[in-house]
Chains A and B, each alone.
Chain A
Amino acid sequence: MATSYGRIIKDGLWDSNGVFAMLLGMCPTMAMTTSATNGLGMGLATAVVMAASNLLVAMFRGYITQEVRIPVYILIVAAMVTLVDLTMNAWMHELYKVLGLFIPLIVSNCLPLARLEAFAAKEPVIPSLLDGIFMGIGFTLSLTVIGACREIVGSGTLFADAHLLLGPAFSFMETRVFPQGTGVLLAILPPGGFLAAGLLLVCKRMIDVASGKEIQMAGAHSV
């Protein structure tokens, strides 16, 4: 079963988007999107883990038997997360201080596991790697957009503290949209996460409907 590269990219970024089509990985999505920078960082860390674990499962897929595949997948995801955690703590410490608390959360994200089961277990190495990368980028974009909406409404800023995540060169991204103290606090509290994600989900569905696509819960059946 061969999947075209164009299809993989489109699936990851839009059609089967982890957050807005499959509704997977809601825990980090709600917890980490209090600002665009946080969402971006969490998304990138997840993307690295997804690409690596997709690659590994595709490489070993001939050896993993049906009966033990789930424990092996969990083992691989957990090992990749620990690897990223230790490496970032040692050599990317500034970034680790921002994201460190949330890296272990990736293990509890069911999106990587879903892609291993639904894609990497059946497909060759290169398409699997691509799927991991683009599902990861799709996840990153979703979290960044939700984070941006919550941050603008809640704190009146956009990409605050981006220099902590991306380095001083990116401090130009930090903008103040509304004057200080005018934010609607609800947006950065937990209910704001549900509201923002729900409203954005509606937007995506409306775009899909307008472009004549059939509404379906893509991918959810295969998990």
Chain B
Amino acid sequence: MKPSWIHALILGVFCLGFGVVLAYTNYFTKDEVKLRAVEDMQNSLSQVIPPGIHDNSPVKDAIVMTNDEGKEIKVYRATKDGKVTGVAYEIVGNGYGGEVHLMLGVDTEGKVLGVRATAHKETPGLGDKIDAAKTDWITKFTGLSLGNPIKDKWKVKKDGGQFDQFSGATITPRGVVGAIRKGLEFFAEHKAQMVEIH
């Protein structure tokens, strides 16, 4: 029978050893990981902000704002010749499987430049039709704004609006349509702050 401090020592040595290994791995990978996160953000931004309208890198030109729920969000700005030509920010809708995260691009007139789902847990084959990779449903928002269609029509057809729901799935598109409308309202309320150059 070994004294109990032996076991404690063995466990301690293993913890220390693997702790050092992980610390080193983290040290060697952290720059790469950061770079990849920026690339990912750039990719999703390039899908909602057309490349022709800016000469800057929107991922590097971000301001922090507080949304209606009191959460801080990053607003990425596209500028050309020193003027803001469009902004993109994350909006969140309530889907069937929890939150649906979307990236919304808006031009200075308040028109949708593009919108894409970035993260969601909707049912495969039903709610995941909001993915641009699955169907083109989400692309139909491009060019729309708060006045087009009128506020009462910013709903899925089942609720009397103009947007298609999917057969067997209404909750997901309802959440997405609502989130986009709210996102546009957010832009309308904070336009001055969003397009102003500091």
Contact = CB atoms under 8 A, between A and B. Distances in A.
Contact of B32 (A90, A154, A183, A188): A90
Contacts of A172: none
A79 B18 contact: yes
Residue from the set B2, B11, B28 with the largest chain A CB neighbour count within 10 Å? B11
Interface stretch (A22-30, A68-76, A125-133, A194-202): A68-76
Interface stretch (B109-117, B122-130, B187-195): B122-130
B7 A86 contact: no
A86 B33 CA distance: 8
Interface string A61-88: 0011101100110011001001100110
A223 interface: no
Given A93-B36, A185-B126, A189-B123, A83 B22 contact: yes
A109 interface: no
Contact of B18 (A76, A90, A96): A76
Interface string B3-39: 0101110110011001001100110110011001001
A192 to B, nearest CB: 11
Nearest to B26: A86
A155 interface: yes
A79 B15 CA distance: 10
Interface residues of A, number: 28
Contacts of A188: 124-125
Interface residues of B, number: 25
Contacts of B29: 86-87, 89-91
A68 B22 CA distance: 21
A65 B32 contact: no
Contacts of B7: 65, 67-68
Interface string A207-220: 00000000000000
Nearest to B18: A79
Contacts of B40: 97
B98 to A, nearest CB: 13
Contacts of B4: 67
A76 B13 CA distance: 12
B125 A185 contact: yes
Contacts of A142: none
Secondary structure dominating the interface of B = helix
Contact of A65 (B2, B21, B22, B39): B2
B22 A72 contact: no
B2 to A, nearest CB: 7
B120 to A, nearest CB: 12
A16 interface: no
Contact of A83 (B11, B15, B25): B25
Contacts of A183: 125
A60 B124 CA distance: 44
A78 B83 CA distance: 50
Nearest to B123: A189
15 contacts: A72-B10, A72-B11, A75-B14, A75-B18, A82-B22, A82-B25, A86-B26, A86-B29, A87-B25, A89-B33, A90-B28, A90-B36, A93-B39, A155-B124, A183-B125
Q: Give the 9 A-B residue pairs with the shortest CB-CB distance, closest first.
A: A90-B32, A90-B29, A79-B18, A68-B11, A68-B7, A86-B29, A67-B7, A93-B36, A185-B125
Interface of A: 34, 60, 63-65, 67-68, 71-72, 75-76, 79, 82-83, 86-87, 89-91, 93, 96-97, 154-155, 183, 185, 188-189
Given A90-B32, A155-B125, 17 more contacts: A34-B124, A63-B10, A64-B10, A65-B10, A72-B10, A72-B14, A75-B11, A76-B18, A83-B25, A86-B25, A86-B26, A87-B25, A87-B29, A89-B32, A89-B36, A90-B28, A185-B126
